[in-house]
A = this chain, B = another copy of it.
Amino acid sequence: MELISGGICAAKGFTANGVHCGIRKNRAKRDLTLIYSEVAASAAAVYTTNLVKGAPLYVTKKHIADGKAQALICNSGNANTCNADGIEVAEQMSVLTAQALHIKPEDVIVASTGVIGQPLDITPIAGGIPGLVEGLGDHSDLAAEGIMTTDTKRKELAVSFLAGGKTCKIGGIAKGSGMIHPNMATMLVFLTTDCAISPAMLQKALSTDIQSTFNMVSVDGDTSTNDMVTVMANGLAGNQEITSEGPDFNAFMEALNTLTVYLCRCIAADGEGATKLLECKVSGAKSESVAKVVAKGVICSSLTKAAMFGADANWGRVLCAIGYSGADVDVAKVEVSFSSPKGEVLVCKDGAGVDFSEETAKEILLESEIDILIDLHDGESTATAWGCDLTYDYVKINGDYRT
């Protein structure tokens, strides 16, 4: 397996584009993204568990019920959520896209991200689609830009791997930033692959993978209404279609996981207002579920997040979060260390503090990527969760998001 460039256009037969169509006032900001496969692709998706769901999610669910899709249209700047005419507008988006591409509306995946509860005007989208289609090409970067909201960085990656002796590629783009606390599904992530894989196995791969990737990310504890991860697999790599578990499926899963872990780290690091990526690695847990609950509990703790912003080795915040996480843990066995490229410092052993150099700890915590290492000394299971620090800028961004 190899990291490669090209993002969602790395896989054979996929082109993409992103333009400014006018949903956003800022003309420098792209707000409409298209991904297109030259042949129909197997499709799979997972969605937010929020009871309030964006209209595009209902439309997408219906469209890929047959396990097939060929294009994806997504706007930013408006979530098309809690609008009386939301479904109708989302359907219009798929119809207009299908007409321009000469495909069926039922083969179009629709997504939206942005403000909730403001009617989405179809006019700028209708006006933007012709140019969007005309400019389709090797433009994963433009597509990644078109889905950004308060994101400050593009998030894209591609990897190549072997399946059935053929080189397959899988690529993805993501948007994150705020309202990030996926639960059984996640923020917007669009994946493409030329690997031949049946819709059922594709869904299985995706549904399995997100449990230890996107569902382990939290920026602010708020589960969005529009979370969605989709993957389209067009089979153009020429490998024998993956229709069951086995070495090829494992290779696909491994490649998928490399991609999704990278995107998780991007999303957490670019969380609204974030200055630091936090990675909480739990080991020695008596079960995977205990490890996950602990890792996510720590990553979600406002007090831990604020302490990391201040580069303060306040490990009591970590212990406290472990204690209220709900996981069945023997707190008297817990060991905690902080680590970064500057080194590692043990701060807590057997559930109590140990002497450590505050100076060394500070130096370690001033880095932009911090690992919080927790050994529960109670078994063999592990889990990792990703988050970010809580900063003045998070408050600033969300104190007046709509204006």
Which of A's residues lie within 8 Å of B, judged by CB? 48-53, 79, 81-84, 115-119, 178-179, 181, 183, 220-225, 300-303, 306-307, 309-310, 312, 314-317, 319-324, 329, 331, 348, 351-353, 390-392, 394-403
A222 lies within 8 A of B353 (CB): no
Q: In chain B, what residue has the closest Cβ to A227?
A: B324
7 A-B residue pairs with Cβ-Cβ distance under 8 Å, sorted by A, are: A84-B352, A116-B316, A179-B320, A220-B303, A221-B221, A390-B395, A392-B392
Majority SS at the chain A contact face = loop
- A320 contact set on B, CB distance < 8 A: 50, 52, 116, 179, 222-225
A316 & B84 in contact (Cβ 8 Å cutoff): no
B399 touches A324 (CB 8 A): no
- Give CA–CA (A395, B317) in the complex, Å: 14
Which residue of the partner chain B has the closest CB to A84?
A: B352
Number of identical monomers bound together in the oligomeric complex: 2
What are the nearest 6 A-B pairs in CB distance?
Answer: A116-B316, A310-B399, A52-B323, A306-B398, A223-B324, A50-B323
Q: A116-B320, A117-B348 are contacts. A398–B51 as well, Cβ < 8 Å?
A: no
- Interface contact B221-A302, CB-CB below 8 Å: yes
* Contact A302-B353, Cβ < 8 Å, known A52-B323, A392-B392: no
Give the contacting residue for A392; candidates B183, B220, B396, B402; CB below 8 A. B396
B310 and A398 contacting across the interface, CB-CB below 8 Å: yes
Which residues on B sit within 8 Å (CB–CB) of A352? 82-84, 117
Contact A323 B222 (CB under 8 A): no
Compute how far the CA of A119 lies from the CA of B50 in the bound complex, rounded to whole angstroms: 44
Q: How far is the CA of A83 from the CA of B79 in the complex (A)?
A: 49
Among B50, B53, B348, which residue has its beta carbon within 8 angstroms of that of A82? B348
Given contacts A301-B222, A302-B222, A303-B222, contact A52 B319 (CB under 8 A): yes
Partner of A395, one of B309, B351, B400: B309
Give the residues in chain B near A222, CB-CB below 8 Å.
Answer: 301-303, 317, 320-321, 324
How far does the Cβ of A332 sit from chain B's closest Cβ, in whole Å?
Answer: 10
- The answer to whether A50 touches B223, judged by C-beta atoms less than 8 angstroms apart, is no
Max chain B C-beta neighbours (<10 A), residue from A178, A314, A315, A320: A320
In whole angstroms, how far apart are the Cα atoms of A314 and B351 in the complex?
A: 42
Q: Is the CB of A183 within 8 A of B314?
A: no
